[in-house]
Amino acid sequence: WPLTTGFDPAISPDGATVAFARIGNEAGLYLIDSDGSDERRIYSGPEVIAAPKWSEDGQAITFSYATSARVCRDVGSGNCVSDEEFETRRFKDLDPSDYPLTTVYAYDLGVVAADGSDFHSLGALDSARAPDWSAAGIVYESSDGIQVIRDEQGASSSLVAHDPLKPAYKDPDWAGGKIVFQQQGASHWEIWSVGAEGAGMVALTAPQTVLVDQLPSNVSPAWSPDGSHIVFLSNRAADGEAGQWRIWVMNADGSNQRALPIDVALNYTFGSEQMVSWGG
Protein backbone atom coordinates (compact mmCIF):
# COMPACT_ATOMS: atom_id res chain seq x y z
CA TRP A 1 0.00 0.00 0.00
CA PRO A 2 1.23 3.57 -0.57
CA LEU A 3 3.00 5.04 2.45
CA THR A 4 3.22 8.66 1.31
CA THR A 5 4.42 10.82 -1.58
CA GLY A 6 8.09 11.29 -2.36
CA PHE A 7 10.96 9.53 -4.11
CA ASP A 8 14.19 7.57 -3.54
CA PRO A 9 12.97 5.44 -0.61
CA ALA A 10 15.49 3.70 1.65
CA ILE A 11 14.40 1.33 4.40
CA SER A 12 16.35 1.30 7.66
CA PRO A 13 18.48 -1.73 8.64
CA ASP A 14 15.88 -2.82 11.19
CA GLY A 15 13.02 -2.36 8.70
CA ALA A 16 11.16 0.03 10.99
CA THR A 17 11.63 3.34 9.15
CA VAL A 18 11.77 4.58 5.56
CA ALA A 19 13.85 7.59 4.53
CA PHE A 20 12.82 9.46 1.39
CA ALA A 21 13.13 12.82 -0.33
CA ARG A 22 10.81 15.51 -1.62
CA ILE A 23 11.40 18.55 -3.82
CA GLY A 24 9.36 21.70 -4.37
CA ASN A 25 7.68 23.64 -1.57
CA GLU A 26 8.19 20.76 0.87
CA ALA A 27 11.76 19.95 -0.19
CA GLY A 28 13.74 17.99 2.32
CA LEU A 29 14.80 14.66 3.76
CA TYR A 30 11.96 12.80 5.46
CA LEU A 31 11.39 9.73 7.60
CA ILE A 32 8.19 7.74 8.00
CA ASP A 33 7.52 4.60 10.02
CA SER A 34 7.02 1.46 7.92
CA ASP A 35 3.36 1.31 8.94
CA GLY A 36 2.77 4.77 7.45
CA SER A 37 2.73 6.68 10.74
CA ASP A 38 4.84 9.49 12.18
CA GLU A 39 6.03 11.21 9.01
CA ARG A 40 8.60 13.91 9.84
CA ARG A 41 11.10 16.08 8.00
CA ILE A 42 14.56 15.79 9.53
CA TYR A 43 16.52 18.06 7.17
CA SER A 44 15.65 20.89 4.78
CA GLY A 45 17.42 23.72 3.03
CA PRO A 46 18.65 22.80 -0.45
CA GLU A 47 16.18 22.92 -3.34
CA VAL A 48 17.12 19.39 -4.41
CA ILE A 49 17.82 16.50 -2.01
CA ALA A 50 18.01 12.91 -3.25
CA ALA A 51 19.14 9.34 -2.70
CA PRO A 52 19.22 8.87 1.09
CA LYS A 53 21.00 5.77 2.43
CA TRP A 54 21.20 4.51 6.01
CA SER A 55 24.42 3.70 7.81
CA GLU A 56 24.81 0.06 8.84
CA ASP A 57 23.91 0.85 12.46
CA GLY A 58 20.88 2.93 11.47
CA GLN A 59 22.17 6.00 13.30
CA ALA A 60 22.95 8.24 10.29
CA ILE A 61 21.83 8.92 6.73
CA THR A 62 23.90 10.11 3.78
CA PHE A 63 22.33 11.79 0.74
CA SER A 64 23.13 14.02 -2.22
CA TYR A 65 21.99 17.62 -2.44
CA ALA A 66 22.28 20.49 -4.90
CA THR A 67 24.73 23.24 -4.00
CA SER A 68 24.09 25.47 -7.03
CA ALA A 69 22.06 25.62 -10.23
CA ARG A 70 22.87 26.91 -13.72
CA VAL A 71 20.30 27.60 -16.44
CA CYS A 72 21.62 26.79 -19.90
CA ARG A 73 20.64 25.33 -23.26
CA ASP A 74 21.08 21.64 -24.02
CA VAL A 75 22.98 21.38 -27.31
CA GLY A 76 23.51 17.62 -27.03
CA SER A 77 26.52 15.39 -26.35
CA GLY A 78 26.51 16.41 -22.71
CA ASN A 79 27.03 20.10 -23.47
CA CYS A 80 24.90 22.76 -21.79
CA VAL A 81 25.60 26.27 -23.08
CA SER A 82 24.60 29.63 -21.59
CA ASP A 83 23.16 32.31 -23.86
CA GLU A 84 26.37 34.31 -23.38
CA GLU A 85 28.46 31.38 -24.63
CA PHE A 86 26.54 31.35 -27.91
CA GLU A 87 28.35 34.59 -28.73
CA THR A 88 31.76 32.89 -28.63
CA ARG A 89 33.50 31.50 -31.70
CA ARG A 90 32.72 27.89 -30.82
CA PHE A 91 28.94 28.36 -30.85
CA LYS A 92 28.46 31.49 -33.00
CA ASP A 93 26.84 29.53 -35.85
CA LEU A 94 24.13 28.13 -33.57
CA ASP A 95 20.81 29.82 -32.78
CA PRO A 96 20.07 29.62 -29.01
CA SER A 97 16.32 29.45 -29.64
CA ASP A 98 16.81 26.08 -31.36
CA TYR A 99 17.87 24.43 -28.09
CA PRO A 100 15.77 23.84 -24.97
CA LEU A 101 16.52 25.54 -21.68
CA THR A 102 17.44 23.22 -18.83
CA THR A 103 18.84 23.48 -15.32
CA VAL A 104 22.15 21.84 -14.44
CA TYR A 105 22.94 21.32 -10.77
CA ALA A 106 26.20 20.98 -8.89
CA TYR A 107 26.05 18.54 -5.99
CA ASP A 108 27.69 17.55 -2.74
CA LEU A 109 27.06 14.75 -0.27
CA GLY A 110 25.74 15.30 3.22
CA VAL A 111 25.42 13.21 6.37
CA VAL A 112 22.84 13.77 9.10
CA ALA A 113 21.95 11.84 12.24
CA ALA A 114 18.66 9.95 12.12
CA ASP A 115 17.14 12.45 14.55
CA GLY A 116 18.04 15.36 12.24
CA SER A 117 21.04 16.61 14.20
CA ASP A 118 24.72 16.92 13.26
CA PHE A 119 24.38 17.69 9.54
CA HIS A 120 27.71 18.07 7.77
CA SER A 121 28.86 18.07 4.15
CA LEU A 122 31.56 15.74 2.85
CA GLY A 123 33.18 17.90 0.18
CA ALA A 124 32.69 15.31 -2.58
CA LEU A 125 33.07 15.96 -6.32
CA ASP A 126 30.50 18.43 -7.63
CA SER A 127 28.80 15.71 -9.68
CA ALA A 128 28.29 13.45 -6.63
CA ARG A 129 25.06 11.43 -6.70
CA ALA A 130 23.61 8.19 -5.30
CA PRO A 131 25.81 7.63 -2.22
CA ASP A 132 25.99 4.48 -0.10
CA TRP A 133 27.96 3.49 2.99
CA SER A 134 30.82 1.00 2.66
CA ALA A 135 33.69 -0.26 4.81
CA ALA A 136 36.03 2.07 2.90
CA GLY A 137 33.80 5.14 3.27
CA ILE A 138 30.84 6.48 1.32
CA VAL A 139 30.78 5.32 -2.30
CA TYR A 140 29.01 7.46 -4.86
CA GLU A 141 28.35 8.03 -8.54
CA SER A 142 30.08 10.90 -10.35
CA SER A 143 30.88 12.04 -13.87
CA ASP A 144 34.38 10.68 -13.17
CA GLY A 145 33.21 7.19 -12.27
CA ILE A 146 32.50 5.58 -8.92
CA GLN A 147 34.30 7.37 -6.09
CA VAL A 148 34.68 6.82 -2.35
CA ILE A 149 35.15 9.40 0.41
CA ARG A 150 35.45 8.93 4.16
CA ASP A 151 33.09 10.65 6.56
CA GLU A 152 35.97 12.62 8.07
CA GLN A 153 36.86 16.30 8.09
CA GLY A 154 39.21 17.16 5.23
CA ALA A 155 38.79 13.80 3.46
CA SER A 156 39.13 13.68 -0.32
CA SER A 157 37.56 11.41 -2.92
CA SER A 158 39.36 8.36 -4.31
CA LEU A 159 38.56 6.56 -7.56
CA VAL A 160 37.04 3.08 -7.35
CA ALA A 161 36.06 2.38 -10.96
CA HIS A 162 36.01 4.38 -14.18
CA ASP A 163 36.21 3.63 -17.90
CA PRO A 164 36.49 6.74 -20.13
CA LEU A 165 34.92 4.75 -22.97
CA LYS A 166 31.93 3.86 -20.76
CA PRO A 167 31.61 6.90 -18.52
CA ALA A 168 28.16 6.19 -17.13
CA TYR A 169 28.66 4.12 -13.97
CA LYS A 170 25.57 4.82 -11.87
CA ASP A 171 23.73 4.01 -8.67
CA PRO A 172 26.38 2.11 -6.65
CA ASP A 173 25.24 -0.05 -3.74
CA TRP A 174 27.65 -1.76 -1.32
CA ALA A 175 27.53 -4.95 0.76
CA GLY A 176 29.97 -7.66 1.79
CA GLY A 177 33.01 -6.02 0.23
CA LYS A 178 31.46 -5.55 -3.23
CA ILE A 179 29.74 -2.72 -5.05
CA VAL A 180 26.97 -3.29 -7.57
CA PHE A 181 26.15 -0.58 -10.08
CA GLN A 182 24.57 -0.06 -13.48
CA GLN A 183 26.63 0.64 -16.59
CA GLN A 184 25.38 2.13 -19.83
CA GLY A 185 25.93 0.29 -23.10
CA ALA A 186 25.22 1.56 -26.58
CA SER A 187 21.46 1.41 -26.17
CA HIS A 188 20.71 -0.13 -22.79
CA TRP A 189 21.95 -0.62 -19.21
CA GLU A 190 23.36 -3.66 -17.40
CA ILE A 191 24.31 -4.42 -13.79
CA TRP A 192 27.92 -5.08 -12.78
CA SER A 193 29.80 -5.75 -9.56
CA VAL A 194 33.28 -4.66 -8.51
CA GLY A 195 35.41 -5.04 -5.40
CA ALA A 196 35.51 -2.15 -2.95
CA GLU A 197 39.04 -1.31 -4.15
CA GLY A 198 38.07 -1.39 -7.84
CA ALA A 199 39.27 -4.90 -8.75
CA GLY A 200 37.34 -7.84 -10.14
CA MET A 201 34.70 -6.14 -12.26
CA VAL A 202 32.05 -8.65 -13.39
CA ALA A 203 28.90 -8.30 -15.50
CA LEU A 204 25.92 -9.76 -13.64
CA THR A 205 23.25 -9.23 -16.30
CA ALA A 206 23.32 -9.49 -20.10
CA PRO A 207 20.80 -9.61 -22.96
CA GLN A 208 19.14 -12.96 -23.67
CA THR A 209 19.51 -12.19 -27.37
CA VAL A 210 20.54 -9.21 -29.49
CA LEU A 211 18.02 -10.11 -32.21
CA VAL A 212 15.38 -7.72 -30.91
CA ASP A 213 14.05 -4.29 -31.83
CA GLN A 214 15.04 -2.80 -28.47
CA LEU A 215 17.38 -4.31 -25.90
CA PRO A 216 15.99 -4.35 -22.35
CA SER A 217 17.76 -2.68 -19.42
CA ASN A 218 18.63 -3.84 -15.91
CA VAL A 219 18.93 -0.99 -13.41
CA SER A 220 18.68 0.26 -9.83
CA PRO A 221 20.44 -2.62 -8.01
CA ALA A 222 20.30 -2.99 -4.23
CA TRP A 223 21.83 -5.65 -1.99
CA SER A 224 19.94 -7.80 0.49
CA PRO A 225 21.03 -7.12 4.09
CA ASP A 226 23.19 -10.28 4.18
CA GLY A 227 24.81 -9.62 0.80
CA SER A 228 23.57 -12.88 -0.73
CA HIS A 229 21.05 -11.44 -3.20
CA ILE A 230 20.49 -8.35 -5.34
CA VAL A 231 17.11 -6.82 -6.09
CA PHE A 232 16.82 -4.72 -9.24
CA LEU A 233 14.51 -3.40 -11.94
CA SER A 234 14.35 -4.94 -15.40
CA ASN A 235 12.13 -4.27 -18.38
CA ARG A 236 12.99 -7.56 -20.11
CA ALA A 237 10.10 -9.52 -21.58
CA ALA A 238 9.92 -13.29 -22.12
CA ASP A 239 10.96 -12.89 -25.77
CA GLY A 240 14.04 -10.80 -24.89
CA GLU A 241 12.49 -7.51 -26.00
CA ALA A 242 12.18 -4.43 -23.81
CA GLY A 243 8.79 -4.37 -22.10
CA GLN A 244 7.32 -3.13 -18.85
CA TRP A 245 9.39 -2.57 -15.72
CA ARG A 246 9.21 -5.24 -13.03
CA ILE A 247 11.09 -6.01 -9.83
CA TRP A 248 13.61 -8.85 -10.16
CA VAL A 249 16.04 -10.59 -7.82
CA MET A 250 19.23 -12.59 -8.42
CA ASN A 251 21.97 -14.27 -6.45
CA ALA A 252 25.06 -12.21 -5.64
CA ASP A 253 26.96 -13.84 -8.53
CA GLY A 254 24.22 -13.03 -11.05
CA SER A 255 22.69 -16.51 -11.14
CA ASN A 256 19.03 -17.48 -10.69
CA GLN A 257 17.54 -14.26 -12.04
CA ARG A 258 13.77 -14.17 -11.69
CA ALA A 259 10.92 -11.69 -11.61
CA LEU A 260 9.12 -11.28 -8.31
CA PRO A 261 5.31 -11.68 -8.22
CA ILE A 262 4.79 -8.00 -7.45
CA ASP A 263 2.20 -6.20 -9.56
CA VAL A 264 2.93 -2.49 -9.26
CA ALA A 265 3.29 0.22 -11.89
CA LEU A 266 6.89 1.45 -12.08
CA ASN A 267 8.09 4.60 -13.81
CA TYR A 268 11.85 4.62 -14.33
CA THR A 269 13.44 7.50 -16.27
CA PHE A 270 17.17 6.53 -16.20
CA GLY A 271 17.93 9.37 -13.80
CA SER A 272 19.64 7.23 -11.13
CA GLU A 273 16.35 6.89 -9.29
CA GLN A 274 16.54 4.80 -6.13
CA MET A 275 13.65 2.49 -6.96
CA VAL A 276 14.01 -0.44 -4.56
CA SER A 277 15.47 -0.90 -1.08
CA TRP A 278 16.01 -4.08 0.95
CA GLY A 279 16.13 -3.79 4.72
CA GLY A 280 15.00 -5.43 7.91
**Which amino acid is present at 6?**
G
The contacts of residue 119 (CB under 8 Å, 6+ apart) are 43, 110, 111, 112
pLDDT at 166: 65
116 confidence band (pLDDT: 50, 70, 90): very high
pTM of the entire predicted model: 0.89
**HSE of 65, CA atoms in CB hemisphere, 13 A:** 27
Reduce the DSSP state of residue 112 to 3 states and report it: strand
Task: Please determine, for residue 5, whether its predicted confidence score (pLDDT) is greater than 90.
Answer: yes
The DSSP line for 225-250 is TTSSEEEEEEEE-TTSSEEEEEEEEE
Condensed to tens digits (0 to 9), the pLDDT of residues 142-169 reads 989 999 999 998 999 999 988 766 657 7
* Mean pLDDT (whole number) for 236-249: 95
Reduce the DSSP state of residue 128 to 3 states and report it: coil
